[in-house]
Structure 1
Amino acid sequence: MKGVRRYALVALVAFAAAFVAVMVARTWFAPAPRVESEVHALLHERLTLDADQERRIHALEIGFAQRRAAMEEEMRADNARLAQAIAAEHGYGPKVSEAVDQSHTVMGQLQKETLKHIFAMRAVLRPDQAKQFDAAVVKALTDPGQ
């Protein structure tokens, strides 16, 4: 019975470590898409888009939402692999390192896709709108209060 308790304690500690790793990764490495939210608020609330711009941006948003959902699913799978690696190694070993590297690869891909999406939406705007758009993107990326 003592062995079962020890195994349960190890499993609990491994789960807690995996949970903390996921939370740290989400907080430090994959923050909420604040830039995207700021940009979308500008597009849909403050810029006066014509019907063609609305249609084109809507199509871009649908395509990006599908790509983002697929990458977020991949990140959830990466987090599960990270949790398994932590449970298996009980420390920062090669499996944990590999799982972290893989999750960072997908996070980087999502960041690149987000930027491509932002630039694709920018291409739909008139020059006066693009100027406001650029300012909102720069502010969202550089304002430490956000």
Structure 2
Amino acid sequence: MTNGRLLLAVLLAGLAGCLGAIAADRWLNHEDNGSLHQFVHEELVLTEDQNSRLETLEARFAVERAALESSLRAANARLAQAMDAEHEYGPEVSAAIDDVHGQMGELQKATVQHVFDMREILEPEQQRLFDRKVSEALTSNSRD
């Protein structure tokens, strides 16, 4: 593999690793529809108790998300190292790709769980509006 092709492969691998994080992040920070958190805070009339519980959820998820994103960056670094070592789609590269996918999946699972945790603090009518907002964010055809 030429140096140019290797560089392209490493860049594409990094991009692939980021795509999972972006997809998960889309649930919470969709550009066209505004942030899901922003929607909950600004468009739903929350009680003091709901606001307090939401702040707790957000703080907990911020820590979890930071750790998962760090793990994803580390997995991407291992993929880059494997690609540099093998210079082909060998067993180390394959294992590193599986690791990246696993980390992306963990981030997406945590994000989905956070969305459901947020939903749980809402009243039934708020949940209906929230569900619609989540559905719109996931199914829109915007260019990110």
Structure 2 gaps of 5+ residues are: 30-34
* Distance across 2 between alignment mates of 1:110 and 1:20: 20
AA aligned to 2:52 is: R
Is 1:30 matched with 2:21?
A: yes
Q: Which runs of 4+ in 1 moved over 3 A?
A: 12-16
Partners of 1:142 and 1:16 in 2: CA distance = 30
Identity %: 44
Q: State the shift of 1:26 in Å.
A: 1.9
Gaps of 5+ in 1: 1-8
Asked if 1:17 corresponds to 2:9, the answer is yes
- Shift of residue 44, structure 1, vs aligned partner: 1.5
What's the CA shift string for 1:107-132, capped at 9, x where partnerless?
11111111111111101001111100
Partner SS for 2:22: coil
Are 2:66 and 1:69 aligned?
yes
Which residue of 2 is the match for residue 85 of structure 1? 82
The answer (yes or no) to whether the contact 1:14–1:90 under 8 Å persists in 2 is yes
TM-score w.r.t. length of structure 1: 0.85
**Distance (whole Å) between structure 2 residues aligned to residue 61 and residue 78 of structure 1:** 25
The residue identity in structure 2 corresponding to 1:21 is A
Distance in 2 separating the partners of 1:20 and 1:111: 20
Between structure 1 and structure 2, the one with the greater Rg is: 1
2:123 to 121, 126, 130: 126
Range with bigger deviation, 120-129 or 17-26: 17-26
CA root-mean-square deviation: 1.8
Q: Give the alignment's TM-score, normalised by structure 2.
A: 0.86
Asked whether 1:105 is paired with 2:102, we answer: yes
**2:142 is paired with a residue of what secondary structure?**
coil
User: How many residues were matched structurally?
Assistant: 136
Bigger Cα displacement from structure 2, 14-23 vs 66-75: 14-23
8 Å contact 1:71–1:110 — kept in the other structure? yes
